[in-house]
Amino acid sequence: MQLVLASGNPGKLRELRALFAKDPQLASIQLLGAGELKLPSVVEDADTFCGNAKKKALSAAMATGRISLADDSGLEVDALDGRPGVHSARYSGGEGNDQDARNIAKLLEELTLVADPQRTARFRCVVAIATPQGEVWTAKGSCEGTITTQCSGQGGFGYDPVFLVEGTGKTMAELPEDEKNKISHRAMAFAKALPILKEILKGAKV
């Protein structure tokens, strides 16, 4: 069976495939990413993570005729009144291969005068599962931490190098992939979404 992840982000696809591989009920499923399919573009103009995730999942399900998953996630910084929030991916404007670096640079600049105790933040994620019939379910996850003053670590993507995960002493980018896949906001959301997905795949009404 084939499912669709409505995302062209290779990091997200890699993380979800790793979660599927560890689950006996999902290990045989082929997960296709947006880069492998010609999915219609979706304008992520909702003002919540949930709204954007639903929009992407439903669009992919209708376009492919397959059950589709999508997530919308981002970073909320308390000292910035929750910014960058739903605008996390393009916080610095535009797009390109250096987008992550430019986003981080803007974030750190805005926090220059903010003391360490006030640099609290969290990653949030909402996963949506949609069927070609237009049904949709959601699950949420979050991960608490603080924003560092400089990048540290080579793993992950996005803001991972400056997000110090609460209770670990490491940035998200410094965590081994197996550990990140247990505690990240995306891992938490997908962990809640997978039981829903299994019920959908069995044809049961959730």
Phi and psi at residue 83, to the nearest 5° = -70, 155
Residue 140 lies in a domain: yes
Number of domains observed in the structure of the chain: 1
Dihedral, CA atoms, 141, 144, 147, 152, nearest 10 degrees? -80
Residue 83 lies in a domain: yes
pLDDT digits (tens, 9 = 90+) for 58-117: 999 999 999 999 999 999 999 999 999 999 988 998 777 789 999 999 999 999 999 999
Residue 10 lies in a domain: yes
Residue 206 lies in a domain: no
User: 28: domain range?
Assistant: 2-201
Residue 17 lies in a domain: yes
pLDDT digits (tens, 9 = 90+) for 16-40: 888 888 888 888 889 898 888 888 8
Parallel, antiparallel or unpaired: strands 30-33 and 2-5: parallel
Residue 151 lies in a domain: yes
Among 71, 72, 100, 160, the active-site one is 72
Crossing angle (nearest 10°) for helices 185-201 and 10-21: 60
Locus of tokens 């992939």: 177
Against a cut of 0.75, is the pTM above it? yes
- Is residue 71 annotated as a catalytic residue, yes or no? no
CATH number at residue 186: 3.90.950.10
